[in-house]
């Protein structure tokens, strides 16, 4: 079984149920921690509707925290949410521009990661 993550009427991620549940749980926890809603609406039919504008705010916030932190534990914990989130944004037609080479490297990692994220 799988879950479909949908944005603007398009499927942006088709993922195994266990992976989807873990991503949603982690994104929800991070959203509570940074006090920015993730914009994920879980439906009973194994779909997740994404409020892409809210999700963009969430993703920009966690990416910013990731890039500005020097704490290895914090960066490791955020990493598992920020990469798929960046991929979802790109698949929704939204590009985030970063002002640093580290931001560019993060985008490159997300694009590499995208190859393992089904559509």
In the predicted model, residues of the chain with pLDDT beneath 50 are none
The per-residue pLDDT for 78 is 95
The terminus-to-terminus CA distance of the chain in angstroms comes to 14
Distant-in-sequence, close-in-space partners of 119: CB < 8 Å, separation ≥ 6:
11, 12, 13, 14, 91
- Residue 6 main-chain phi, psi, to 5 deg: -120, 140
d(CA 92, CA 9): 10
What's the gap between Cα 88 and its chain centre? 6
The per-residue pLDDT for 82 is 97
What's the gap between Cα 109 and its chain centre? 13
The per-residue pLDDT for 105 is 94
Q: Beta strands 10-16 and 40-42: pairing type?
A: unpaired
The per-residue pLDDT for 54 is 98
Contact of 24 with 58, CB cutoff 8 Å = no
The per-residue pLDDT for 61 is 97
d(CA 111, CA 36): 24
The per-residue pLDDT for 73 is 96
Contact of 94 with 58, CB cutoff 8 Å = no
């Amino acid at each position: 079984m799988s879950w479909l993550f949908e944005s603007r009427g398009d499927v942006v991620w088709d993922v195994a149920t266990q992976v989807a549940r873990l991503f949603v749980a982690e994104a929800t926890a991070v959203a509570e921690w940074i006090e920015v809603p993730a914009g994920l609406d879980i439906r009973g039919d194994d779909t997740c509707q994404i409020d892409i504008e809210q999700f963009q705010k969430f993703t920009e916030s966690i990416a910013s925290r990731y890039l500005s932190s020097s704490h290895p534990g914090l960066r490791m914990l955020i990493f598992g949410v920020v990469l798929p989130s960046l991929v979802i944004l790109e698949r929704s037609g939204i590009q985030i521009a970063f002002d640093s080479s580290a931001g560019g490297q993060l985008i490159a990692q997300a694009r590499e990661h995208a190859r393992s994220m089904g559509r």
